[in-house]
Amino acid sequence: MALLSRRSVLTAALGAALAVPLASAPASAVVGGAPASTTAYPWLAAVGSPIFFVRPSGQFCGGALIKPDRVLTAGHCVSMFRSVPGLLTATFGRDELTGSGGETVAVTSVRVHPRYRETSFRDETVGHHDLAVLTLARPVRRPLASLGSPGSARTGRIAGWGFTSENDLFNTRLRAARVPLPGDAACERAYGDSFDPSDMVCAGSAAADSCQFDSGGPLVARGRVVALVSWGYGCGKPGYPGVYARLDSLP
């Protein structure tokens, strides 16, 4: 419920600024984590927009640098910017969003996964093939994220600037947490048919989870980004792990 109202604030702010009706809005920080440094995540992008003035640096999502001028993020983070990519920015190397460290680069195009679509689970929007690639206005000189698949990994790490609980709206510090990968069955129990193991990964627990404004950020396993924060029922709710978009389904 509280989550829904935060999502509505975001939708309203973006909708007012873009003057278009928005069916959903990006969301998603890290529950149960600890402060982290972008030096450990040099390829990690804070995806945002100067029109999203309710958050420092305009940040509303995460992303990963996959080529010097390409950032991988969640489809639901940027689908409403498809016709106005120039409103988006990617910021690297900024541990604290209220600061001005690192570098910010403009976005020139948004390509959302051709099979991206939305359904719903209770009040949450479920993103299928929840991936998008942003083209940057110039290449950045930073290490690239290496991509992979979770395989049989049992744990991973998540990183993001999002909420540290369902009620913390104010976190602006990069944080990271170690999360369990409990397997498909845990998310099938929680979410039924809304969880599609062919394009989603189940991760997190009541002790460590992603949350609003973490979306599009990385789930790292065995040193590779294996999925991006996508959706879930609340944050850190017992029995409801987070759901991540698999990268194997990259077009």
| Residue of 57, 79, 130, 214 with catalytic role | 130
95/124 with CB nearer ligand 4AZ: 124
Residues in the chain: 251
Rounded to a whole number of angstroms, the minimum distance from the CB of residue 105 to ligand 4AZ is 23
How far apart CA 20 and CA 214 sit, in angstroms, is 24
Indicate whether 177 belongs to the interface with ligand 4AZ (CB under 6 A): no
Residue 45 in contact with residue 184, Cβ under 8 Å?
Answer: no
Q: Which residues contact 60 (CB under 8 A, 6 or more apart)?
A: 10, 25, 26, 27, 47, 48, 49, 52, 77, 213, 215
How far apart CA 212 and CA 90 sit, in angstroms, is 18
Beta pairing partners, 51 = none
Place of tokens 């403009």: 106
- Return the residues of window 9-68 that contact ligand 4AZ according to CB under 6 A: 27-28
Q: Which two tokens stand for residue 139?
A: 């290449």
174/229 with CB nearer ligand 4AZ: 229
| Residue of 49, 205, 215, 230 with catalytic role | 215
| Residue of 24, 28, 57, 76 with catalytic role | 76
Q: Does residue 196 carry a catalytic annotation?
A: no
* Stretch 229-248: interaction string toward ligand 4AZ, x if CB under 6 A: x-xx--x------x------
Using the Cα atoms of residue 93, residue 46, residue 133 and residue 29 in order, give the sign of their dihedral.
positive
Indicate whether 171 belongs to the interface with ligand 4AZ (CB under 6 A): no
41/240 with CB nearer ligand 4AZ: 240
Q: Does residue 76 carry a catalytic annotation?
A: yes
Q: E strands within 150-205?
A: 155-160, 175-180, 200-203
Rounded to a whole number of angstroms, the minimum distance from the CB of residue 30 to ligand 4AZ is 10
Catalytic residues: 76, 130, 215
Query: Which positions touch ligand 4AZ (CB under 6 A)?
Result: 27-28, 209-212, 214-215, 229, 231-232, 235, 242
